[in-house]
Structure 1
Amino acid sequence: MTSTAMACPDCGTPCEATDNYCRQCGMFLAAGRELAVAPAKPALPARYERQRATLPAPVKKAVTAVAIGTALQVGMSLTGKYLARQAARGAVEAVRARPRPKRQERGERETAEAATPAVKPANDPYDGAAAVSETVVIRRVWIRRG
């Protein structure tokens, strides 16, 4: 044991002053040490306080870049919305300006269909058949236990 020895406050086992924990009971010893207190820094004169209040150059550049980026983003967003609105307005006006086809009367439609007969191949193996298309979605869930 050296001259810097001390005893554990919990179990009384001798410990060195540099030990953080008691080797016998495990008590935290560093909390009971006296700590050296550094003197407080002297207050800075007023002229240094003013200099300290200004931002350093890299921070000023970063703030400027963020401000410019934000302004550009807002400007591009507004420009995009304006262009989309103009395109939609132009499409609606184009549809409205297009002339509508004349409606045929029921009798006229039937005679027009009868005038153009459908062309059928000579040897159609699927004569009179209809085509059906289906989409099936299957979801399979496997749960394993054990």
Structure 2
Amino acid sequence: MAKSLNKTIGDSEISLKAFQVLADNSFDSVLITDATKAGKIIYANKAFNKLTGYSVDEVIGKTPRILQGSATDKMVLERLSKSLQNGKHFEGSAINYKKNGKPFIMHWRVVPAKIGKKTKVWLAIQREGTAIS
């Protein structure tokens, strides 16, 4: 799809701007972390703020662990970690916590954004759920 978008638009700066407009206006929460072991947040959209109560300024430079708490399923986090270590996408659900401490079920998909074979960033698409799948 990215090749098709670049072919249609023809300019990587415009492609980047198109992605940003899309992410900024998504109904789903979008979070981007760097691909280092620390996995620090480098981008969060407005829907992330609406979902979690955290402002963008509060989360930039932090890790997604700020959403985890005592009821967060450690087995799900292990599966996530293994998937990321292997450069694979991940889909899962777990209890996370809003800024005000209220627990909620988060469904999320995490995919690598690669240049060649090297993962540069991780893209997470998240939404609140009513049941853990």
Fold equivalence (TM over 0.5): no
Q: Of the two structures, which has the highest relative contact order with CA contacts closer than 8 Å and spacing of 6 or more?
A: 2
* TM-score where L is the length of structure 2: 0.18
TM-score, normalised with respect to structure 1: 0.17
**Bigger share in helix:** 1
